[in-house]
């Protein structure tokens, strides 16, 4: 029998309402899935509160109550959702048992400062619950799309075979379709052409702009900065409309006066438009890196006879490189995932991957879109992980965090 510490025990008047609220949250999802969210809330709150009362006031055996909770919830999960429900039920049973004793024995104060008031402790955990809820809200669509991309059927819903974890319900055929379908491959190649070139332009112009705007003697630099980052503030549909009229005139001049091919001009317009969208991200990340830059290094290089170009590449660039690369990654993601501007500025010859996905949803619904979405999510996660590693490296180089 697990020993309880009487000094740390909390009253049932605190424990039971709290775990009942947590049970109501679970009951909301289960009840909604079975046709009645309100009934699920009531049953979930009552069930968890009753469970906690029995464990604490009657059973008084933490190990035995843990296994009762796990097996009981696993059984309920099997009744409502089959084999997947067993896994989710067992996890839920373990969590609610742990949560009950975590509250009752006051374990939540174990790693906190002893002088914190009850209100401070409540805010400490409430803040983390709110952050976790926001994270779940943001990540849930991704968690739904990824397993659906392996659906063996041409459906956008989970089939009975998938819910039973039957291997026959899963397939890679949608990924095979993406890598073999000419339309998907053409749009993918267009994205791989447009995004890197737009990124290079964004990084070149954005880095120079950030360095110039970081100089205190530049007149009106705040106003210039506001104009430079406006593409990420102004609604995208407004920017796309303005770009349509602006680049239409440029395209007519390039085709009519210079005689350039229409398809080439289309690529030029889309690349320039995506460069405009990526420049603000480069300016912001490079400017943030320049905040801790030691200006005496450039003056020392100039005193030793280095010209401005040599000073930039030999002294300044190595120190601000993490910010430049971070901005480049954000600019690349912006261009690679953008669809509104390319719809206004581009033509069928410049159809990018997001445009093809949009067309597929509007004209012919194909689960291949889910496979493409999963690939894009994987690419984004990889790039964002790189950004985080570069951010930590930049802080180490500037002495803001331990190595």
pLDDT of residue 403: 47
Q: How far apart are CA 94 and CA 265, in angstroms?
A: 61
pLDDT of residue 5: 41
Q: Compare 337 and 1 and report the one with higher pLDDT.
A: 337
| CB 31, CB 39: distance < 8 Å | yes
Q: Sketch the domain layout of the chain as residue ranges.
A: 6-111, 181-397
Q: Which residues contact 22 (CB under 8 A, 6 or more apart)?
A: 48, 96, 99
Please tell me whether residue 170 adopts helix, strand or coil conformation.
strand
Query: What is the token pair recorded at 217?
Result: 């003697």
pLDDT-derived band at 8, boundaries 50, 70, 90: low
pLDDT-derived band at 206, boundaries 50, 70, 90: very high
pLDDT-derived band at 397, boundaries 50, 70, 90: low
Q: Compare 12 and 343 and report the one with higher pLDDT.
A: 343
Mean model confidence pLDDT for the chain: 84
Burial of 169 (0-12, 13-18, 19+ CB in 10 A): middle
Give the CA distances from residue 50 to residues 6, 19, 44, 54, 96, in Å, rounded to whole numbers and listed in that order: 22, 10, 10, 6, 12
Class of domain 181-397: mainly alpha
pLDDT of residue 110: 83
pLDDT of residue 384: 79
Q: How far apart are CA 253 and CA 368, in angstroms?
A: 39
pLDDT of residue 232 exceeding 50: yes
Least confident interval from 11-15, 67-71, 159-163, 330-334: 159-163
pLDDT of residue 7: 45
Helix-, strand-, coil-residue percentages of the chain, each rounded to 5? 80, 0, 20
Give the CA distances from residue 57 to residues 6, 46, 94, 173, in Å, rounded to whole numbers and listed in that order: 13, 16, 19, 55
Q: How far apart are CA 301 and CA 319, in angstroms?
A: 14
First to last CA, the chain: 46
pLDDT-derived band at 326, boundaries 50, 70, 90: confident
Q: Which residues contact 12 (CB under 8 A, 6 or more apart)?
A: 53, 56, 57
The pLDDT tens digits of the residues spanning 94-139 come to 999 999 999 888 888 888 888 888 888 888 988 998 998 888 888 8
Half-sphere exposure of 305 (CA within 13 A, CB side): 0
pLDDT-derived band at 276, boundaries 50, 70, 90: very high
pLDDT of residue 149 exceeding 50: yes
| CB 339, CB 358: distance < 8 Å | yes
Q: Compare 162 and 369 and report the one with higher pLDDT.
A: 369
The pLDDT tens digits of the residues spanning 238-250 come to 988 999 888 888 8
**Torsion sign (Cα): 268, 271, 276, 282:** negative
């Amino acid at each position: 029998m697990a020993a309880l510490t009487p000094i740390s025990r909390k009253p049932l008047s605190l424990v039971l309402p709290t775990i009942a609220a947590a049970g109501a949250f679970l009951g909301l999802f289960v009840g909604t899935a079975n046709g009645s969210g309100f009934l699920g809330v009531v049953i979930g709150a009552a069930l968890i509160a009753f469970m906690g009362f029995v464990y604490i006031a009657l059973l008084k055996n933490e190990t035995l109550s843990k296994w009762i909770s796990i097996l009981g919830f696993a059984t309920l999960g099997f009744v409502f959702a089959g084999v997947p429900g067993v896994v989710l039920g067992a996890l839920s049973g373990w969590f609610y048992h742990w949560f009950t004793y975590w509250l009752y024995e006051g374990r939540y104060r174990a790693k906190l400062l002893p002088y914190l008031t009850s209100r401070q402790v409540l805010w400490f955990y409430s803040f983390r619950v709110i952050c976790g809820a926001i994270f779940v809200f943001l990540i849930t669509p991704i968690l739904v799309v990824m397993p659906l991309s392996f659906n063996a059927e041409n459906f956008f819903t989970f089939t009975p075979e998938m819910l039973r974890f039957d291997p026959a319900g899963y397939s890679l055929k949608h990924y095979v379709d993406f890598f073999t379908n000419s339309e998907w491959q053409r749009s993918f190649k267009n994205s791989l052409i447009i995004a890197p070139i737009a990124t290079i332009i964004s990084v070149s112009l954005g880095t120079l702009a950030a360095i110039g705007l970081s100089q205190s003697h530049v007149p009106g630099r705040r106003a210039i900065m506001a104009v430079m980052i406006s593409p990420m503030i102004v609604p995208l549909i407004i920017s796309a409309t303005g770009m349509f009229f602006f680049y239409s005139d440029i395209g007519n001049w390039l085709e009519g006066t210079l005689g350039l091919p229409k398809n080439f001009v289309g690529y030029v317009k889309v690349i320039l438009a995506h460069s405009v969208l990526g420049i603000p991200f480069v300016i912001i990340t490079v400017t943030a890196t320049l905040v801790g830059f030691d200006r005496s290094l450039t003056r020392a290089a100039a005193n030793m006879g280095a010209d401005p170009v040599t000073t930039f590449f030999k002294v300044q660039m190595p120190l601000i490189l993490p910010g430049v690369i971070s901005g480049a990654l954000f600019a690349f993601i912006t261009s690679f995932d953008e669809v509104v501007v390319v719809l206004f500025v581009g033509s069928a010859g410049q159809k990018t991957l997001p445009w093809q996905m949009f067309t597929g949803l509007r004209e012919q619904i194909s689960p291949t879109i889910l496979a493409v979405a999963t690939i894009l999510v994987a690419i984004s996660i990889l790039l964002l992980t790189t950004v985080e590693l570069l951010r930590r490296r930049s802080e180490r180089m500037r002495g803001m965090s331990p190595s």
